[in-house]
Amino acid sequence: MEATNYEIRDLLPTKHDIDFLTTMVYIAHYPTRSPIPNATIASHIPQVFLWVDQWGEKGDIALIAQRGDRFLGAACYRLFSVRDQVAGFLSEQTPVLVLAVLPQYRRQGVGCRLLTTLIQRAKDASFPALSLTVSMRNPAIALYEQVGFHSVQISEELLVTMRKPLAFSNNTRSLPASITTRHLHQAC
């Protein structure tokens, strides 16, 4: 069953949106932990803090899936440096991506739309690639593979770092023209 009647929009610089992003970053990092802490508590967890501290810096992009006043999920990417020691980091020119959908909206196409929209935004910004880290036990790994992410490293904790090369909007040498956003959406 696919969720319907929802929009994908840019994160607004409001407390409500930032709090939701913080919660989604927490869920992405700790998908099996319950209960989920409120955003204020979650933002003090080092792995979450690195994602949301001073949100809105150059290279920060976040999207929210929303139906009416109800948030369904969020996806974002951010540039990090070597000193940040963020899971999924490959280079200072490659944004790291995080994606989470609330449990009741999973397997309905929400995560796929967030992901493909975020990939297009990264292409439009001329980033060379996107990266992420996901547990080998997380079913979302199949979604990442469907849209072109491939494994580059597996940790002892069974975390897979994945990379997706991107076609630059103004560069026809990157990927075949046959790979378009339409094809990305069809993959989901």
- Rounded CA-CA distance 57/73 in Å is 21
At residue 118's C-alpha, the angle toward residues 10 and 167, to 5°, is: 135
Are β-strands 129-135 and 159-165 bridged in parallel, bridged antiparallel, or unpaired? antiparallel
Give the three-state DSSP class for 123.
Answer: helix
Q: How far apart are CA 129 and CA 108, in angstroms?
A: 26
Q: Of 79, 47, 44, give the one whose Cα is nearest residue 61.
A: 79
Distance in angstroms (rounded) separating the CA atoms of residues 118 and 28:
16
pLDDT tens series, the chain, 188 aa: 556 799 999 999 999 999 999 999 999 999 889 899 999 999 999 999 999 999 999 999 999 999 999 999 999 999 999 999 999 999 999 999 999 999 999 999 999 999 999 999 999 999 999 999 999 999 999 999 999 999 999 999 999 999 999 965 444 343 343 344 455 556 66
pLDDT at position 184, please?
Answer: 54
Q: Quote the distance between the C-alpha of residue 70 and its chain's center.
A: 19
Distance of CA 68 to the CA centre of its chain: 22
List the structure tokens of 172.
């026809």
In angstroms, the CA 89 to CA 3 distance is 32
- Which pTM value belongs to this model? 0.88
Domain ranges in the chain?
Answer: 7-186
Question: To the nearest 10°, the Cα dihedral for 135, 122, 175, 99?
Answer: 20
Task: Render 157-187 in DSSP notation, one character per residue.
Answer: T-EEEEEEE---TT-TTSS-TT--HHHHHHT
Instruction: Look at residue 100 in the predicted model and tell me its pLDDT.
Output: 97
The hierarchical CATH code for the domain 7-186 is: 3.40.630.30
pLDDT of residue 32: 87
Q: Which long-range contacts (CB under 8 A, 24 or more apart) does 90-94 make?
A: 90/129, 90/131, 90/152, 90/161, 90/163, 93/127, 93/128, 94/127, 94/128, 94/129, 94/130, 94/131, 94/163
Look at residue 94 in the predicted model and tell me its pLDDT: 97
